[in-house]
Structure 1
Amino acid sequence: MKMRTKSIFMLLALLVVFMSGCIDQKKEIVLDEPGNISNYEFEVFLDDWDNNIPANTTTYYILEDKTEVQVVHIVINSSKLEIYPPDTLGGGSGEEPIRNFVLLVEPANETVASPKTFMWLANSSNVSDLNYTLTQEIARNMKVINLEFEEPVTGFIAYTLDIPATQSFAFMKPDSEFIRVVLPVGFATGNRIFGIARPEPYDVSVDEEGRQTLLWISSKMGEREEAIQVKYYTESAPMYFFAAIVALLFGVGLVISRYSQSKKELESVREVFELEKEYEAKERRKKK
């Protein structure tokens, strides 16, 4: 009987531990002050496939130091946004999950989601004074930041995240129809030797500042493509690599040429030496 009681107690203890591990612990994020609007690019991205109507879009601007990424969302009639920090996929410090948070939104029931509205918001000098909550939790074994409003909103949401100081950027696919990554000036992707983007972008273009821009369309991606990774490199890397290969081949050619020449010289010396030996042998035979 005691053994049975002990077994039940251990089973209950294990169940409590298991349940406590399954319950997601939410932590509220409190931001000290609004972010700086001038730090961001609020581009009005239009859905060319739907009569130039603005569409839910997430754009990642990788900064030149490759340690930060600025994220700008175009949201239309949305009350919640899920943000996955880079450390969700094994990068980032996690000490300050989100910084320089900027809201340029209006209540959706008071706003028309038109290019004119977004242009007006993009040129605004004051952040929106709407109530929201930011919480961080572990859901499905991944870290996620939840941004929630009291009512659906339309406009721009921008913030900055830390990323690992490498030439590789990976992130969870956001809940947006259009997903864009803007590389720093002087960087590119698409070379299988130096780095490519996975999955393959729907479109690759260069903006007015000379930055390579990658575009994915969420509805055209497979269900298993939950993460996007972009490995990028300096635009001059392939040229320098090709030049190094040419120099290496030239050096190898010189070595082979020198070896061939030295081999011929040695063979000539050996032939002369053999002839001298034959001559000396003949002279010895004559003396006998």
Structure 2
Amino acid sequence: MKMNTKNMFILLALMVIFISGCVDQKKEITIDEPGNISSYEFDVFLEEWDNNTPVNTTTYYILENKVEVQAVHLVINSSKLEIFPPDSLGGGSEKEPIKNFVLLVEPANETVAGPETFSRLANSINVTYLNYTLTQDVSRGMKVVNLEFEENVTGFIAYTLDAPGTQSFTFMKPDSEFIRVILPEGYVTGNRVFGIARPAPSSTGFDEKGRHTLLWVYSEMGEREEAIQVKYYTESAPMYFFAAIVALLFGVVMVLMRYSRSRKELESVREIFELEKEYEKKGQRKKK
């Protein structure tokens, strides 16, 4: 009986330690002032196969400096949003997981989630003031920022993330039906030598600004495909690489030709030298 009591106390102590550890990991994030609306693109993305009706969409805009990524969520009738900062996957800033936070949302029960509503919100010059909480926690062994509203909302949620500064961007698959990545102008992906997107996107194309766009459809992705990685490169990279290969091959050919010419010259010299030796030998025989 004493042994069972002892084991129970040990179990309770372990539970207290575990719970206190979880509590310590969770912390609230305070946003001092709203972000700059004009720094974002609020695209009312409508897919043709969905009858031109807005659906939950997450778009990542990789900036030209490659050290920041802008995320814009088009949300419909939702009260929660999970944000996985890049430091969850080995990069980013722990002190400031998100920045330039912008809300352009309205209560879902007072809003019709149609193209007109999103177009109006996209052209708004004032941010929305609704009660929400931002907390940083650990989920599935990774840091996650939880955004929660007191009621369901519809509209745009935008923020900026730090990026590793390389030509590779990895992020956790968001809970959106459509997931888009917009590469910086002048950059593309899809060449296995220089970089591809994994898993393969459902479709790719270019927007009106000439930027390479990639689209994933959540329902078409497998359950194991939890993360998406995009490795990209400049459009001119394959051309320069091909030119470098041609120049290298040309250099190799020139070296081989010079080596072949030098070898022939050496062979000619050796033949002349051998002929002179034979003449000398013949001359010595005649003297004898």
TM-score range, shorter chain: over 0.9
Specify the alignment match of 2:37 in structure 1: 37
Residue pair 1:58, 1:72 contacting (<8 A) in 2 also: yes
Q: Provide the rounded CA distance (Å) in 2 between the counterparts of 1:283 and 1:8.
A: 115
Q: CA RMSD in A?
A: 2.1
- Gapped regions of structure 2 (runs ≥ 5): none
Partner-residue secondary structure (3-state), 1:166:
coil
- Gapped regions of structure 1 (runs ≥ 5): none
Q: Provide the rounded CA distance (Å) in 1 between the counterparts of 2:80 and 2:166.
A: 31
Q: Mark the CA change 1:7 to 1:275 in structure 2 (over 3 Å): closer, same or farther.
A: farther
TM-score normalised by L of structure 1: 0.94
Report deviation, 1:63. 0.7
Residues 128-207 of structure 1 aligned to structure 2 (within 5 Å): 128-207=128-207
Superimposed CA distance per residue, residues 203-236 of structure 1 (whole angstroms, 9 cap, x where no aligned partner): 1111111110111111001110000001111111
Q: Mark the CA change 1:215 to 1:259 in structure 2 (over 3 Å): closer, same or farther.
A: same
Q: Mark the CA change 1:15 to 1:156 in structure 2 (over 3 Å): closer, same or farther.
A: closer
Residue pair 1:132, 1:150 contacting (<8 A) in 2 also: yes
Residue pair 1:172, 1:228 contacting (<8 A) in 2 also: yes
Report deviation, 1:93. 1.9
Partner-residue secondary structure (3-state), 2:50:
coil
Specify the alignment match of 1:253 in structure 2: 253
Residues 59-138 of structure 1 aligned to structure 2 (within 5 Å): 59-138=59-138
Report deviation, 1:12. 6.5
Report deviation, 1:283. 1.4
Large movers: runs of 4+ above 2 Å: 3-25
Q: Provide the rounded CA distance (Å) in 1 between the counterparts of 2:47 and 2:208.
A: 19
TM-score normalised by L of structure 2: 0.94
Report deviation, 1:25. 3.0
Report deviation, 1:47. 2.9
AA aligned to 2:287 is: K
AA aligned to 2:170 is: A
Specify the alignment match of 1:229 in structure 2: 229
Residue pair 1:104, 1:155 contacting (<8 A) in 2 also: yes
Report deviation, 1:24. 6.8
Q: Provide the rounded CA distance (Å) in 2 between the counterparts of 1:59 and 1:75.
A: 11
Q: Mark the CA change 1:9 to 1:128 in structure 2 (over 3 Å): closer, same or farther.
A: closer
Q: Mark the CA change 1:58 to 1:253 in structure 2 (over 3 Å): closer, same or farther.
A: same
Report deviation, 1:17. 3.9
Say which is worse superposed, 228-237 or 16-25, in terms of deviation.
16-25
Specify the alignment match of 2:50 in structure 1: 50
Partner-residue secondary structure (3-state), 1:223:
coil
Specify the alignment match of 1:239 in structure 2: 239
How many residues matched?
Answer: 287
Report deviation, 1:4. 11
Q: Provide the rounded CA distance (Å) in 2 between the counterparts of 1:283 and 1:9.
A: 115
Q: Provide the rounded CA distance (Å) in 2 between the counterparts of 1:247 and 1:135.
A: 55
Specify the alignment match of 2:219 in structure 1: 219
